Amino acid sequence: MRFDFVLALYAVVIMALTMYAVHAWIMFFYYVRSRRKKPPQAKAIEKFPLVCVQLPMYNEKFVVERLLRQITQLDWPRNRLEIQILDDSTDETTEICRRLVKYYRTQGFRIRLLHRTDRKGYKGGALTEGLARTRASLVAVFDADFLPAPDFLKRTIPHFDDPKVAVVQSRWEHINHDYSLLTRVQAILLDQHFAIEQQMRNRFGHFMTFNGTAGVWRKRAIEDAGGWDGNCLAEDVDLSFRAQLKGWKFIYLNDTRSPSELPIDVAGFKTQQFRWAKGTIQAGKKLLPSIFSSNLSFLSKFEAVVHVTAHLVYPLLFILALLTLPLLLVRTTSNIDYRSYFVFMSIFSVGALPYFLLYFFAQKDSYPDWKSRLGAIPFAISAVMALCVNNSIAVIEGFLGKASEFVRTPKYNITGHNASKNKKGYRSKLEPSTFVELGLGIYLTATAVYALVTMQLAILPFIVLYTFGFLYFSFSAISAALKKDRVSVREPVYDRAETP
C-alpha cells in the first residue's frame, strides 16, 4: 500500500509539473515563430516631455554614488528631467545622498531627496510618495544597482506617442556575470526570463510585467490601475496585471539593455528569490479572480495563470526530492511489476527538455561568446532545483497571507571577477532553510549511491543535479556565516574632480 501511495503522489506531482512544462513548450514554439516578427520600433525623439526618474533605495551605501553618476549622464535636457531619491535608509546612505543632492544641484540638475523614517509600504510606498510630488507625466524607475545607458530615455520615451502605452520595459544586463559560478547561473536564469519569456509574451499579445526597475511608466496608467500596493512584495507584478486588465498596453525592448549588479553570495540570491516568490503568490491570490473573469482568450488566460502561479513549481520540486529514494525502492524491493507505470510516467518527463532549449537559445541569441556560457546551464538547472526549500517557504507564507518585511538584496559595487576586495560587507546569519538544504544534500547523496549500486543509472543525473544544488547552497551559507563578514567588497573609487 505504501508503494501505491508513493506512486500516486509521484504521478500527481509530475502531472502538475507538466502544466508548467507545457507553458515552456509554448514559449519555445513562440520563439521559433518570432523569428519572422520584427521587434517594436519607435521614431527618433522629436519632443522632450518632462520625465521623473525615481530611485528607491534602502541602505545602499556601496552603490549610491555610482548610481547618481550614471543617472546624471542621461542624455535628456536638464530642464525636462527630475530626479527623486526615495531613501528609506537607516545607515550612512542618507548622508551620502544629501551630499550628492547638494553637489548635483550646483550642476543644474533638478534633484531632490525624499527621506522616510517609517518605510510604510516599503518600495511601493516610497514610489507612491514620490509620484505625488512630481508634475511629470512619465516616470522612470531604477533600483540602486542599475546603470542605465545615456540614451535610455531617448530609446524608451518615443513609444509613449501611443496613448495606450502604460509601460516600456528594458532588458536587464549583468555587469558582474563572470564574478563566480553563482553569478553566471543567475545571468542564465534572468536571460531566459527576458530574452524568451518577456519578449515572447509581449510579441504574441499576452500579459507581461514591469520588472520593478529599468522601465518607464505613464503616471496616468499607475493612477488608473489603482496605484502601487505596498502590501504586496511583488508590487510590480500586481500593478502590471491590474493595468493590463484595464486595457493598458505594455512594450518590451529586448535591444535596450540596462546593466545591473547580481547578488554575489547565496544569502543575497535566496533573499531576492524569496521576495519574488512570496510576492508573486500574493499577487496571484489577488489577481486570479479578475484573470478568470476577464475577456482574455483561453491561451492568454493560461499564460497569465502560469505567470502568477509559477512559483508553485518549488513545493512540487521539494516533494519530488523527498520521493526520489522511495521511487528507487519501489523498483528494487517491490514484488509488483510497475514497469508499465514508469514507462507511462516517463512521457511526462520530457517536460524538462524545453527548459534546456530556452536557456540555450537565450544565450545563443544574446552574446557573441555564447558558447563559453553554456557550461553553466546544468548548474542553473541545479540552482532552480535547490531553491525548492527557500521558495517553498515563501509560497506557503504567500498563501497564508503572512506579513513580512521587504528585505533588500545587498549590493556591493562589484563589477567583475577581478574586483579588488578590501572593504567590509554586510554580516550574514544562518537561516533554518540552510540546515534543511544540508539534510537534503546528505539524503540525496545516499540516494545517488543507492542508485549507483542498484544500477538505476537513468535517474542518476537528476539526483546529482539536486545534490549539487543543495550542498552548494548549504556549504556556501555556512562558510559565509562562519566568517567575520559575509563578503568583502571593493572600495568605490571616483574622480573627485567630477563628483563630491
Contact 490, 420 (CB under 8 A): yes
Residue 351 banded pLDDT, cuts 50, 70, 90: low
Residue of 145, 191, 236, 265 marked catalytic: 236
User: How do the domains of the chain map onto residue ranges?
Assistant: 2-31+311-488, 46-263
Residue 10 banded pLDDT, cuts 50, 70, 90: confident
Contact 72, 81 (CB under 8 A): no
User: What's the confidence (pLDDT) of residue 211?
Assistant: 97
Q: Is 178 among the residues known to form the active site?
A: no
User: What's the confidence (pLDDT) of residue 339?
Assistant: 66
Mean pLDDT of 261-285: 95
Residue of 87, 88, 191, 229 marked catalytic: 88
> Which CATH fold topology does 46-263 show?
Spore Coat Polysaccharide Biosynthesis Protein SpsA; Chain A (3.90.550)
For residue 116, how many other CB atoms are within 10 A of its CB?
Answer: 15
User: What's the confidence (pLDDT) of residue 475?
Assistant: 95
The three three-digit cell numbers of residue 35, written as one number: 523569428
User: What's the confidence (pLDDT) of residue 286?
Assistant: 96
pLDDT reading at 496 higher than 50: no
For residue 25, how many other CB atoms are within 10 A of its CB?
Answer: 16
User: What's the confidence (pLDDT) of residue 42?
Assistant: 74
Amino acid in the structure at residue 421: K
* pTM of structure: 0.91
pLDDT per residue as tens digits for the range 282-310: 999 999 999 999 999 999 999 999 999 99
Contact 449, 314 (CB under 8 A): no
Q: Checking DSSP bridges between strand 110-115 and strand 165-174, what pairing results, if any?
A: unpaired
User: What's the confidence (pLDDT) of residue 493?
Assistant: 36
**Phi, psi dihedral angles at 452 (to 5 degrees):** -70, -45
Lowest mean pLDDT among 11-20, 149-158, 363-372: 11-20
Residue 482 banded pLDDT, cuts 50, 70, 90: confident
**Distance between CA atoms of residues 380 and 354, nearest Å:** 14
pLDDT reading at 343 higher than 70: no
pLDDT reading at 1 higher than 50: no
Q: Is 229 among the residues known to form the active site?
A: no
Q: Residue 259: which of 301, 292, 328, 213 has the closest Cα?
A: 213
